Each structure stands twice: as structure tokens, then as C-alpha cells.
């Protein structure tokens, strides 16, 4: 780790007593303040761009005051800090997800920003057709995705530790759930998918250790690799109701994937243990299992 001492220049000032760093220069370079342990407050006044990992692993950094003029925040700029809230200016044009390991609970956006918007602490594009970032430390237990949403950014919900239920039923224009969207949402136990969903991409629900119920709509045609890997930590039933095995089965590689055939994942567990065992032992196909399930239902 590094520490800063009192200094002052035309571009930057640091006050060791208040642990306040004031930056006036246009570009904060990649890794420039990585592992600095004694910054508590950051004031940006004239900065246009914050590069990758600029304040990565600054463990005391809690407060950021961003002046107008900032246009770009690159990935992981504030990862591994104590920042809980970000207020983004009207000038911001590019914002990459803040990183998997943050304390971020709330994102606000200036009403004058023509590209981004926020509602209840969640970051969207201006017309709320794209959900960009659901903060990883936001403590709400349930979330309903708005009806306007057509797209979820990759990793949009990644690493949230509190959310238990996601309801996407109102987002009828949402056709794809991107890779790693809900990766490591460890409290998530129920997901309601959109009615017309077509694709679940790679590792989407990977490491959702408490997930126990998913209903796959009949429009679904593609399930990516490791979509539900290591879901359901108790190794009990993860209920997967499928209405369209003909279209899905061709995209499933699980039978030939050692990560699944060794039994590390329980997505094939349906209603009865014997059906689950037959699927894992390849004694019945997915379609045959679906017929059994439908008869029972």
C-alpha cells in the first residue's frame, strides 16, 4: 500500500489532515492512485477522463465530488473503495460498470445529462430502455425491471449481495439476458423471466447459490454455457419448468460438458429426484423428462 503526503501543485492538492485529494488536471491516468490508503475525499474540478483502475483499492476512499466537465469513467476506476454513492454530472458521456467489488449503493445522474438517467439509485440510459448498473451493495430485497427495458448491460447486477427476487415480467421487449448479468448474486432465490425471452447468455446466473426456482418461457431458444453453474448451494431441487425442449435442447451442451456431467450443477433437477437422476445418467432425454413433468403437472 502507498500513502500520500501534503503537497500542492497546479494540477493536484492533497491535505494529509483531512485526507482530501483535489484534482484539477484533465486526465487521471491508469493505476495512478492504485493502492493509496489515506485518501478519504476526492474532489474533481476540471477532470475530463478517469482511466482504468485509477483509484483501485483505495480502502479509505468514501466521498467523491465530481464537477461538471467529466466525460469518461473507465472500468474499475473506483473498485475496492468505500464509496457508497456516486453523483454523475450532465457532461458525462461514457460510464463503464464500476466493478464487481464495490460498496456502491446508489447512483444519481444530473437531470441535464442527455445520455444517462437514474431512478431509485439504479443507472439507466436516458429513455430507460437499457438498465446499465444495479449497484452491487444496494440493499433492496426485490426488484421489478421496468416495462420500458429492452436491454440489460453485461454484468448489470453482478455481485449484489442482497437481492432475493427479480421480476422481469413487465419487460416484454427484453429478448436477451446478457452474460454474467446476475453472476454471484448470492441471495437471489427466485427469478421471473420475460414472457418473450429468447436468449440466456453464458454464465448469466452462475454462482447464484440460493437460486431455487426458474421458469423458462416457451419462446426461449438458447441457454449459454455455465448459465446456472454452481447455483443452489444445498444441492437440492432447482425447479426448472421448460415448455419448449425441442428448441432449447439443441443449444444445451451440458451432457457433454464435464462440469455438468460430474454433477456440480443441479439445473436438471425438476420435480422428482428419480427424474433428475435419470437425466444426469442420460437414461432419458430432456424432452422425455419434459413429457413426464408435464404429465405430473
- Domain spans in the chain, listed from the N-terminal domain onward: 1-136, 139-297
List b or e across 7-33, with b for residues whose CB sees 16 or more CB atoms inside 10 angstroms. Answer: eeeeebebeeeebbbbbebeebeeebb
Q: Residue 186: what pLDDT? A: 92
Q: Which fold has domain 1-136?
A: 3.80.10
pLDDT at 271 over 70: no
Confidence tier at 268 by pLDDT (50, 70, 90) = very low
Pairwise CA distance, residues 200 & 183, whole Å? 12
Is the pLDDT reported for residue 65 higher than 70?
yes
Q: Centre a 10 Å sphere on the Cβ of residue 3 and count the other Cβ atoms it contains.
A: 11
- Same topology, domains 1-136 and 139-297? Answer is yes
Whether pLDDT at 113 is above 70: yes
According to the CATH classification, is domain 139-297 in 3.80.10.10? yes
Per-residue pLDDT tens for 143-160? 999 999 999 999 999 999
Amino acid at each position: 500500500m502507498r500513502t500520500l503526503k501534503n503537497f500542492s501543485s497546479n494540477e493536484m492538492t492533497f491535505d494529509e489532515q483531512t485526507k482530501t485529494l483535489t484534482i484539477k488536471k484533465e486526465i487521471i491516468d491508469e493505476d495512478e492512485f492504485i493502492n493509496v490508503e489515506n485518501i478519504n475525499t476526492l474532489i474533481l474540478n476540471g477532470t475530463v477522463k478517469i482511466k482504468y483502475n485509477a483509484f483501485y483499492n483505495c480502502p479509505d476512499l468514501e466521498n467523491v465530488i465530481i464537477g461538471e466537465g467529466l466525460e469518461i469513467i473507465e472500468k474499475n476506476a473506483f473498485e475496492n473503495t468505500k464509496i457508497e454513492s456516486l453523483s454523475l454530472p450532465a457532461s458525462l458521456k461514457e460510464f463503464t460498470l464500476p466493478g464487481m467489488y464495490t460498496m456502491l449503493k446508489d447512483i444519481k445522474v444530473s437531470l441535464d445529462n442527455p445520455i444517462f438517467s437514474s431512478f431509485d439509485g439504479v443507472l439507466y440510459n436516458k429513455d430507460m430502455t437499457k438498465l446499465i448498473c444495479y449497484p452491487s451493495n444496494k440493499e433492496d430485497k426485490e426488484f421489478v425491471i421496468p416495462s420500458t427495458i429492452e436491454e440489460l448491460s453485461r454484468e448489470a447486477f453482478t455481485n449484489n449481495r442482497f437481492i432475493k427476487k427479480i421480476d422481469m415480467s413487465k419487460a416484454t421487449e427484453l429478448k436477451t439476458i446478457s452474460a454474467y448479468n446476475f453472476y454471484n448474486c448470492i441471495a437471489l432465490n427466485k427469478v421471473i423471466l420475460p414472457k418473450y425471452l429468447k436468449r440466456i447468455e453464458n454464465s448469466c446466473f452462475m454462482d447464484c447459490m440460493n437460486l431455487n426456482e426458474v421458469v423458462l418461457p416457451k419462446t426461449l431458444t438458447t441457454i449459454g454455457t455455465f448459465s446456472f453453474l454452481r447455483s443452489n448451494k444445498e444441492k437440492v431441487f432447482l425447479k426448472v419448468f421448460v415448455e419448449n425442449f425441442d428448441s432449447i435442447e439443441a443449444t444445451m451442451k451440458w451432457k457433454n460438458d464435464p462440469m455438468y456431467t460430474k454433477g456440480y450443477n443441479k439445473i436438471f433437477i425438476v420435480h422428482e429426484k428419480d427424474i433428475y437422476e435419470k437425466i444426469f445418467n442420460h437414461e432419458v432425454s430432456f424432452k422425455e423428462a419434459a413429457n413426464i413433468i408435464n404429465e405430473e403437472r
